[in-house]
Amino acid sequence: MRVLVAMSGGVDSSVAAALLVEAGHDVVGATLKLWGGFSDSGCCSVADVDDARRVAQQLGIDHHVFNLTEDFDRHVVAPYVEAHARGRTPNPCIECNRAIKFDRLLERSDRLGFDRLATGHHARVTRAANGPHELRRGADVAKDQSYVLSMLGQSELARVVFPIGEMTKSDVRAHAVRLGLRTAAKPDSQDVCFIGSIEGRQGFLADKLAFHPAEVVDGRGDPVGRVDAVELVTVGQRRGMGHGNDGSRHYVVAVDVPARRVTVGSAAEANISAVVLRRATLTWVNQPLALGARAIAQVSAHGRPASCTVGANADGVVVEFDSPQRPVAPGQTVALYDVVDPDAVVGAGIAA
């Protein structure tokens, strides 16, 4: 089988490529040049490209660099900036998976005649006899990445493989050590790849949109403080929001950019009983959940799963939690898992 492996320059994708070579497949590595600006974090630096190329040499496979900077800017960076301008909290890694890795790169893989596209994600694709493909959590619970892949459907799952999905992270590193791969001890990337570690989110956005000060008010509308940039405030945030009269921490309940207002409350006041997923953003691994169906929701990459019931309103799907949950910021992805088989992703949507 001819397999194109997306090699980020990290240990996971390095071992993914190695496993495919060991299995006897015809393997070619590909690293994506995504960000044209400065980067010293994430997976877009010059050093990462060099690491991927060196690993490919060690494995004896061809390696290519695909320039997708225009697509990345259009589908990931620009929406990231625009979302902050509207007081929303985007997830650029999910959008990169949606628009770049499992769209543009998958298309290129098909066009170049590869049978499959492989990545180093900690997730699994399974399929019962003649049944639909299933997207499942990775074997390593601590490193599971099914959440950031929750937008994948049958078309994508039929063409991708996740070679390390059955391995723990320690197993991955041990395998890299045995092979002498230069990425064996390389730390995992933790940050948004196009934001430098020194400038941070504020420095990155400062060059691309205007910041506006805003009044901070409590649930009654009484002023309790101010912030320098409403565009940098996230629903659920507590840092910099002060305390109530009883000494309890304030949490952001709502962000209104046009009104230049941030509403805060106690932890209990910030908690939510339901979240609406915008209809236009809904994706399903196979079939949509029926109204009234039970599911398990996860609202961040390593968030605690929460039992819920799926409903609907005029705007989209309503996820009604069994018990109050921490607030979900508008723009964040909510992944839904099967209530009977909690490892299986059902679908996902973006919070309104």
- Which residue of the set 43, 44, 193, 308 is catalytic? 193
Instruction: Centre a 10 Å sphere on the Cβ of residue 247 and count the other Cβ atoms it contains.
Output: 6
List of residues 6+ apart from 344 with CB closer than 8 A? 134, 135, 136, 285, 337, 338
Task: Tell me phi and psi for residue 305, to 5 degrees.
Answer: -60, 140
| E-state strands within the chain | 2-6, 26-33, 62-67, 116-118, 123-127, 133-137, 160-161, 214-217, 223-227, 251-256, 261-265, 272-278, 283-284, 294-298, 306-313, 316-325, 333-338, 345-350
Where do runs of H (alpha helix) occur along 89-208?
92-96, 105-111, 154-157, 169-179, 200-206
- CA trace torsion 149, 150, 155, 156 (10° rounding): 0
Sheet-wide strand order for 116-118: 62-67, 26-33, 2-6, 116-118, 160-161
Place of tokens 């299986």: 344
**Is 193 annotated as catalytic?**
yes
- Which residue of the set 43, 44, 96, 308 is catalytic? 96
Can you tell me the distance from the alpha carbon of 88 to that of 73, in angstroms, rounded to the nearest whole number? 18
Can you tell me the distance from the alpha carbon of 224 to that of 334, in angstroms, rounded to the nearest whole number? 31
| Residues forming the active site | 96, 193
